[in-house]
Every structure is written in C-alpha cells, then in structure tokens.
Amino acid sequence: MRATASLRRFHSTSSLVHTHLPALTPYSSAEALQESLRAQHLLFKSQSSSSSSSPKPPPPFLISFESTPIYTFGRQQQQQQQQQQQQQHKDAAPLTQPLPVLLTTRDPPLRHTFVPDVAHTQRGGLTTYHGPGQLVLWPVLDIHSPAYPRFTVASYAGFLEATTQRLLRDVFAIETFVSPDEPGVWVRQKPRSESQPHPHPHPHPHPHPQSGSQSQSQSQSQPPTTAQTEANPPPSKIAALGVHHRRYVTALGTAINIDVPTTGPPASNPWARFVPCGIEGKGVTSVAREIGPAAPHALFDLQDLAARWAALFEEGLFDESKRGGR
C-alpha cells in the first residue's frame, strides 16, 4: 500500500543551498566549485561511517550557471584510450573554430566572438556543448541521505528530467517527453504542413516584453533532407542530462537550451559542428525556438529561471509525491 503524500514529506533542516554563478562562467570554475561541495558530502560519509558520534551532514547543494563555450566528451570517449588522442585532435579542429554569439533576448544583448574550449568529463555519453544561452543546473547531494526519501540512480535521473519538464511547461507552456533509451528532455516536432505558432509563454515576470529585438531562426538545427523526414520530423532535444555518482553523491546534472542558437551553419551554430551526444538523426531545439512568434518580444533571465527550477527541485527532493520521473 502506498503511503500518503503527507507521510512521504520529510521535515528536514537541510534545505537546498542554491548558488547561481554570475555572468558567463568558465566550465572549469563551476566544476571546481562542484568538486569542493561534493568533497564535503564524501568527507561526511567517511566520518559518519567510522565514528560513533553523528556529525551534522552538509545540505544538498545546487550550482546553476551559464557557461562560456565548451565542448565536453563523455566517459565512452575516454575509455577508447588508443583512439582518443587521434580522434580528439581531429574533432577539436572544427570544434574550436571562433564562434560568434549574438543573443538579443538579453538585457543588455550579448555580442561576442569566443574560441570554444574542449574538455573531458565524468558523465556518460559522447560529445555535447555548453555555452551562452544554456542554463546549466548541477545538484550536489547524497541520493541515499536520510534527510529525504531515498533515490535510486534511475529515479534520480528521472527526477532531474521531470523537474525540467515542469519548468518548461509551467513557465513557457512547452510540452515535452522523455525516453528511457535516450536521456534528456525532448520536444516532438510537427510536420511543416501542420506546424502552428506556439502559444505565448507564461505571463510576466519572465520573459518580459521588449521591442526591437531580433528573432531567432525557426528552422531545424539539422534540416530535413527528404520528403519523408519533412512529413515525420524527428524529435529535438531541449535539455541534456548527464550525472556522475561517487558513493551515491551526485555531480553534473542537466542543461536547458534557453536561447542558445540551434540553427544555421557551423560558423554560427555550435550544434552543427558535431552530432550531439552521438545520436544520429535527431535535432536540437531551445525555448526561444519553441515559443515561436513570442521569441522576438522576450527577455530571458537565466538567474530567475534557475531559481524557479531550484524551487521545483527542492519541493520534490523532500516530498516524494512531487518527484515524477522514472
């Protein structure tokens, strides 16, 4: 018999501690902060298992930030030791070409040309991209902590996806789905003949009306090449998922495409320089693209969106009935 929601609510003093890093943050800086926070949890677990006393556990943490451009490789690529150096050299050449970024859905607008970095990470999967216009959210917590209902590795991944789905639905009226075979949050694309303008996103405070800003292109990141593909367009990923566990303490998390460019040639579209996560035949999309005609009149506040995601995450962290997911 399932317990009631009230019985599944854990009353804990360990509230979520959310840190949003200002401006554009180098991936390596966010990673260093993440590891320092994870070290606190790992140290506590070591001390509590070897001591009769009960030291106070660290709280669950959340880091949110917008990264400077970087392409990251997953563990699958690291495991191919002999091929790695040769392949990294081949891959890095097009990936690290200068990347002009123009985001007019900001106040002030972001205009800058970057040289993307390339790095290896602890997550699974293959190559992905992080950069301006993408909100990265990294919870650092012990999924087996007694402070809240315990997660499994799979249920935690599902919780990250479900939290992201709730944010996209509640704020922007974007309907999404998840797949057990392909982690992340996806949007079903309609055939061109059936495409209709997306309803206006959630009312103020975000996005805000703005006049005179430029519209992002609404074409596919990887345009259909056959009539069959046009009639049955593949789904597009709007949020990536990648988690690493060490003694059940988490690192990495999810990255939501807000107004990052997802269309155009490789010179200006970072996703066109590689096959995202090694998944052939699938597209990449963003909030700006999905809200359609509303995009030219929107201003995106990533710090506000991070705070909204954090509130949903904390709610489900302590109340199992509000987790959703797998």
Residue 109 has a pLDDT of: 93
> Which is more confident, 284 or 199?
284
Peptide bond into 55 cis (omega under 30): no
Quick one: average pLDDT of 117-125?
A: 80
Evaluate whether residue 277 is within a structural domain. Answer: yes
Highest mean pLDDT among 53-57, 98-102, 120-124: 98-102
Mean pLDDT of the chain: 81
pLDDT of 152-164, one tens digit each? 999 999 999 999 9
Which of these, 201, 199, 198, lies nearest to 189 by C-alpha position? 198
> Which is more confident, 309 or 208?
309
What's 110's domain CATH number? 3.30.930.10
Residue 238 has a pLDDT of: 98
Which residue's structure tokens are 């360990």? 14
Rounded distance, CA 194 to CA 134, Å?
A: 28
* 3-state helix vs strand vs coil in the chain, percent to 5: 35, 20, 45
Report residue 143 as tokens.
């999924």
Rounded distance, CA 187 to CA 155, Å?
A: 21
Evaluate whether residue 5 is within a structural domain. Answer: no
Q: Between helices 302-318 and 153-172, what is the axis angle to 10°?
A: 130
Evaluate whether residue 206 is within a structural domain. Answer: yes
Residue 147 has a pLDDT of: 93
Evaluate whether residue 213 is within a structural domain. Answer: yes
Quick one: average pLDDT of 266-295?
A: 85
Quick one: average pLDDT of 314-318?
A: 97
> Which is more confident, 100 or 202?
100
Evaluate whether residue 299 is within a structural domain. Answer: yes
- Catalytic positions, please? 277
Known binding-site residue numbers for substrate: 123-130, 240-242, 253-255
CA angle 244, 30, 121 (to 5 degrees): 40
* 230 pLDDT higher than 70: no
The proportion of the chain whose per-residue pLDDT surpasses 90, expressed as a percent, equals: 61
Quick one: average pLDDT of 240-261?
A: 96
Which of these, 13, 114, 8, 11, lies nearest to 66 by C-alpha position? 114
* 215 pLDDT higher than 70: no
Quick one: average pLDDT of 50-66?
A: 87
Contacts of 192 (CB under 8 A, 6+ apart): 230, 233
Contact 126, 75 (CB under 8 A): no
β-strand pairing of 70-73 with 117-120: parallel
Evaluate whether residue 82 is within a structural domain. Answer: yes
> Which is more confident, 219 or 122?
122
* 4 pLDDT higher than 50: no
Rounded distance, CA 62 to CA 280, Å?
A: 32
What range defines the domain where residue 168 resides?
A: 16-322
* 133 pLDDT higher than 60: yes
Number of domains in the chain: 1
Evaluate whether residue 3 is within a structural domain. Answer: no
Report residue 218 as tokens.
């609404």
The model's confidence at residue 280, banded by pLDDT at 50, 70 and 90, is low
Known binding-site residue numbers: 123-130, 240-242, 253-255
Q: What is the pTM of this model?
A: 0.81
pLDDT of 74-91, one tens digit each? 766 555 544 544 455 455
β-strand pairing of 128-130 with 70-73: antiparallel
Rounded distance, CA 122 to CA 72, Å?
A: 10
CB atoms within 10 A of CB 305: 23
Evaluate whether residue 2 is within a structural domain. Answer: no
pLDDT of 141-154, one tens digit each? 999 999 999 999 99
Residue 77 has a pLDDT of: 55
* 323 pLDDT higher than 80: yes
Contact 114, 24 (CB under 8 A): no
Lowest mean pLDDT among 75-79, 170-174, 319-323: 75-79
Rounded distance, CA 326 to CA 201, Å?
A: 27
